[in-house]
Amino acid sequence: MRITDKALNEAIDGKRELGDIGLRSALKELRKLRDSRLIPDGYALVPVEPTENMVIAGLESKSSASNSNDGEEASHRTKSDDY
């Protein structure tokens, strides 16, 4: 037995009784959802919009990366100027 969305919403709102069979069916559906792997291994959920901490970390990493590249370029120029 499959419970329709309408019947489930009415039961949640207290407008309809599901009865034992309907309740068992709803609980089976909940168990399936609980047991299913919604997020595959190797994947993670991320916010739709980056958090403030994410933005700050990104800016700091770019700043750090650009500073290290500048240093590499400067030392590279110095070595090439010697030749």
Concatenated DSSP letters for 24-71?
HHHHHHHHHHHHS-SS-TT-----SS--HHHHHHHHHHHHHHHHHHHH
**Tokens 């949640």 — which residue?**
12
Instruction: Look at residue 23 and give its three-state secondary structure.
Output: helix
Token pair recorded at residue 79? 């070595």
pLDDT above 90 for 23: no
Higher model confidence: residue 57 or residue 18? 57
Spans of all domains in the chain = 1-37
Which pLDDT score is estimated for 25?
Answer: 81
Q: What is the pTM of this model?
A: 0.34
Nearest in space to 3 (alpha carbons), one of 18, 13, 14: 18
